[in-house]
Amino acid sequence: MMQKVLIFDSSSLISLSLNGLLEELKKLKKIFNGEFIITKEVKREVIDEPIKMKMYELEALKIQNLIDEGCLNMPDKIGIQDKEITNLMFKLMNLANTMFIGNGNEIQLIQKGETSCLALSKLLNDKKIKNVLVIDERTLRMLVEKPENLKELLEKKLHTNIKLRKGNFQQFKDFKIIRSAELMYVAYKKGLINLKGKEVLDALLYALKFKGCAISFDEIEEIKKIK
| pLDDT tens digits, one per residue of 26-70 | 999 999 999 999 999 999 999 999 999 999 999 999 999 999 999
DSSP string, the chain: ---EEEEE-HHHHHHHHHTT-HHHHHHHHHT-SEEEE--HHHHIIIIITGGGSTTTHHHHHHHHHHHHTTSSB-GGGGT--HHHHHHHHHHHHHHHTTSEEETTEE-----HHHHHHHHHHHHHHHTT-EEEEE---HHHHHHHH-HHHHHHHHHHHHTS-EEE-GGGGGGG-S--EE-HHHHHHHHHHTT-S---STTHHHHHHHHHHHTT----HHHHHHHHH--
Q: Check whether 146 has a pLDDT greater than 90.
A: no
For 102, 123, 165, the CA distances from 96, given in Å and listed in that order, are 14, 17, 10
Q: What's the whole-model pTM score?
A: 0.94
Tell me: the pLDDT tens digits for 178-210?
A: 999 999 999 999 999 999 988 999 999 999 999
Give the mean pLDDT of the chain: 93
Q: Check whether 2 has a pLDDT greater than 80.
A: no
Query: What pLDDT is attached to residue 166?
Result: 82
Q: Architecture of 4-95+106-146+173-225 per CATH?
A: 3-Layer(aba) Sandwich (3.40)
Q: How many CB atoms neighbour CB 128 within 10 A?
A: 6
Percent of the chain with pLDDT over 90: 78
pLDDT category, 170, cuts 50, 70, 90? confident
Percent of the chain with pLDDT over 70: 99
Q: CA 161 from chain center: how many Å?
A: 29
Q: Are 123 and 80 spatial neighbours (Cβ–Cβ below 8 Å)? A: yes
Domain ranges of the chain: 4-95+106-146+173-225
Q: Residue 15 corresponds to which amino acid?
A: S
Q: How many CB atoms neighbour CB 225 within 10 A?
A: 6
- Rounded to 5°, angle at Cα 71 from 70 and 73: 65
90 or 172, which is more confident?
A: 90
